[in-house]
Structure 1
Amino acid sequence: MNGLPLTDTPQAIADPVSTLMALAGDDMPRVEALLSERMASPVELIPELAAWLVKAGGKRIRPLITIASARMLGYEGEGHLALAGAVELIHTATLLHDDVVDESELRRGKASANHIWGNPQSVLVGDFLFAQAFMLMVDSGSLDALHVLSRAAAIIAEGEVRQLAMVGDVAVSRQSYMEVIDAKTAALFAAAAQVSPILAGRPKAEEDALHTYGRELGLAFQLVDDALDYGGLAALLGKNTGDDFREGKITLPVTLALEAASADEQAFWARTLGAKNQTDGDLDEAIAILKRHGALDETLAQARARAANAQSALGVFPRNEWTDALSALAEFVVDRAY
């Protein structure tokens, strides 16, 4: 596999998500139909809120990974459609719950559901989507795949609880933070890739390889988001730049800067993130501190290494258009930061 050349200038690269969408042209419309079917309900608020989420966009990266992995392995059944739908419903449900916990007002550049309809409504619709996800898992006909996705859902919840406990805790180590994002973000990427070889009845080595691919891709994805929050555009993230800072979240760039912080910088982080006592100009100062210690560059370097690990994991499979597209996806996850 090729390496991941990152530069300080924007790169004109093809969007591998579009490539994957084209390759999965027969499958993804059927997944979308499944999602519409599962988001339907005689309770008016549920389809109304669900439609808002669909209109808000999203690249469907996680279900695409499930579809691409299955097709890469030559799977010819239809169980992968139900699993891909389940993966997306789990993701959507967690987004609804996350926005409530974070008190977010934006989701993918639009007003968040909880901002429009309220927190109780968002939580309950999220619960409905979780239930629909589990019904789709059962429909896939694979008990082992059901186990993998069920376990991922539990791990995601554990990760979110751990992150909530870490808000404002400037003593959090980089290891603790990596464990959190391994749970709250990477677990679903890993499961999305892992269920396909299970469904296709492939050897354990291939299952492990795709689990590694998904996990490393998910870690790279989250680390790039961490860096973008302190210097990216809101349009890229679908949220306000600086949201993590305003919410008192300890992310990898902050843990790296804290490791090298002066006494004054430690006091700054304790005030702004620990006590959430923030004033105008504090976000700019936070970014300046992160850049001074190379924390953003180091975060992106770690994301690049994780993406390279994801590419390497694909090396056990014969090269074809699917492996090429999945490898390009890993590179794209990091390149979107530039």
Structure 2
Amino acid sequence: MTATIHRLDNREPSLEPLLQLVAGDMNAVNTVILDRMQSQIPLIPELAGHLIAGGGKRMRPMLTLSSARLIGYTGTRHHRLAASVEFIHTATLLHDDVVDGSDLRRGKRTANIIWGNPASVLVGDFLFSRSFELMVEDGSLKVLKILSNASAVIAEGEVNQLTAARRVDLGEDRYLDIINAKTAALFAAACRISAVVAERPEGEELALDAYGRNLGIAFQLVDDAIDYVSDAGTMGKDAGDDFREGKMTLPVILAYARGDAEDRKFWKDAIEGRRQSDADFAHAIDLVRKTRSVDDTLARARHYGQRAIDAIGGFANGKAKDAMIEAVEFAVARAY
């Protein structure tokens, strides 16, 4: 099975071209982030800094910056907006870790484990507020509408996922609705706002939205696959977290649909919380491999990855486009 989408050479895809493309802009974004996470209440920058400085790739703000490069924007408004995007993302991570009871995030102990759930929720609220301050300062009602809508959609996706937890009858359509909301919506908005500040035609806005949305779906599909094929060192979280939290991700949805009566009984018990041991997780891995559920999840990720690449096909060729294409290939190749 190939890890690439359309690459013509044998070099492994990398985020390095994207990192190099936006390095100067990212310095400006980081300055905004560091400035706006400050507070007279010491716990706020301490807790926020734990996650913001925790080794994340800053993928979403990088997409805002690279999209601006792709369309030739030469202003600076996107710096604050990229910081706003990162604050939205960080706030959702703080809240997610509380909801999921997670112990690890990017290989480090989660904020809720160190400071407790109340502090994590409240600092997440603070970062949401900071993100909206930055949107208002930009002055564009259209940008405000795009990012505020994305924030609402993310929350809806998280609630949808919460109500779907431990339900073995979750179908693929609802699963895709969940990841489209909780992950892809912010990817899409992060890309689209660059076209707004650059005052580009709506067609370019929609093309960047489609790029981000399809990349976000591919990114989440790969994340859900590697929960069953990777380890904590690679993933930055405990292997099997999704399994133990009773999440019906696509590998499980497919394995359940393809299993026999005994397999389905196992999945029902596991998802409902009655089969949670290491041996049970090992058996789950065997089942997703036997049914090729991980392979097919990754095949779907490649499909959405190609849709992302096709979405920016009409933009001018150059370093920005190449870097954005390779970022998609990298996102898909993480599982290999």
TM-score by length of 1: 0.95
CA deviation map 1:209-268 (0-9, x unaligned): 100000000000000000100011212221011000011111000111111121111110
Conservation of the 8 A alpha-carbon contact between 1:79 and 1:139: no
C-alpha separation between the residues in 1 aligned to 2:126 and 2:267?
39
Residues 79 and 141 of structure 1 are in contact (CA less than 8 Å); yes or no, is this contact kept in structure 2?
Answer: no
**How far apart, CA to CA, are the structure 1 residues paired with 2:53 and 2:312?**
33
What is the alpha-carbon distance in structure 1 between the residues aligned to residue 190 and residue 96 of structure 2? Answer: 20
Q: What letter matches 2:47 in structure 1?
A: L
Letter of the 1:157 counterpart: A
Matching residue's letter, 1:76 = T
Deviation of 1:279 (Å): 3.0
Greater shift, 109-118 or 140-149, is seen at 140-149
- In structure 1, the partner of 2:29 is 31
CA distance in 1, matches of 2:56, 2:219: 14
Partner of 1:93: 91
1:15 aligns with 14
Aligned residue in 2 for 1:102: 100
Residue 243 (structure 1) aligns with: 241
- Checking the alignment, whether the CA contact within 8 Å between 1:80 and 1:196 is kept in structure 2 is yes
* 1:335 equivalent in structure 2: 333
Q: CA deviation at 1:277?
A: 3.7
Aligned match of 1:228 in 223, 226, 229? 226
Greater shift, 269-278 or 191-200, is seen at: 269-278
Distance 1:269 1:14 in 2: 35
CA contact (8 A) 1:63 1:87 kept: yes
- 1:145 and 1:235 map into 2 onto residues whose CA distance is 37
Residue 269 of structure 1 corresponds to 267
Q: Does the residue aligned with 1:218 lie in a helix, a strand or coil?
A: helix
> What are the superposed Cα offsets for residues 64-122 of structure 1, whole Å, 9 maximum, x if unpaired?
00011012111121110111001000000000000000000101000000000000000
Structure 1 letter corresponding to 2:69: R
Q: Which of 154, 177, 180 lines up with 2:178 in the alignment?
A: 180
Aligned-partner Cα distance in 1 for 2:274–2:184: 28
Matched position secondary structure for 1:120:
helix
Moved more, 74-83 or 175-184: 74-83
Within 5 A, what are the aligned runs for 1:1-338?
A: 4=5, 13-16=12-15, 18-338=16-336
* Between 178-187 and 73-82, the greater mean CA deviation after superposition: 73-82
Q: 1:316 is paired with a residue of what secondary structure?
A: coil
Q: Tell me, in whole angstroms, the C-alpha distance in 2 between the residues paired with 1:118 and 1:276.
A: 27
The 3-state SS of whatever aligns with 2:313 is helix
Structure 2 unmatched ranges of 5 or more: none
> Partner letter of residue 100 of structure 2?
D
The amino acid that maps onto 2:5 is: L
Helix, strand or coil at the partner of 2:23: coil
Tell me if the contact between 1:311 and 1:327 (Cα under 8 Å) persists in the aligned partners. yes
| Letter aligned with residue 309 of structure 2 | Q
- 5+ residue gaps, structure 1: none
47-56 or 173-182: which moved more?
A: 47-56
Counting aligned pairs with the same residue, the percent is: 50
CA distance in 1, matches of 2:274, 2:136: 44
Q: Secondary structure at the match of 2:312?
A: helix
Q: Structure 2: how far apart are the matches of 1:296 and 1:191?
A: 28
Equivalent residue of 1:315, what SS? coil
How does the TM-score come out when normalised to structure 2?
Answer: 0.96
For residue 203 of structure 1, report the CA deviation from its aligned partner: 0.8
Question: Secondary structure of 2:57's match?
Answer: coil
RMSD of the alignment, in Å?
A: 1.3
Secondary structure of 2:24's partner?
Answer: coil
Counterpart CA distance in 2 for 1:311 and 1:243 is 31
User: In structure 2, how many angstroms separate the alpha carbons of the residues matched to 1:275 and 1:96?
Assistant: 24
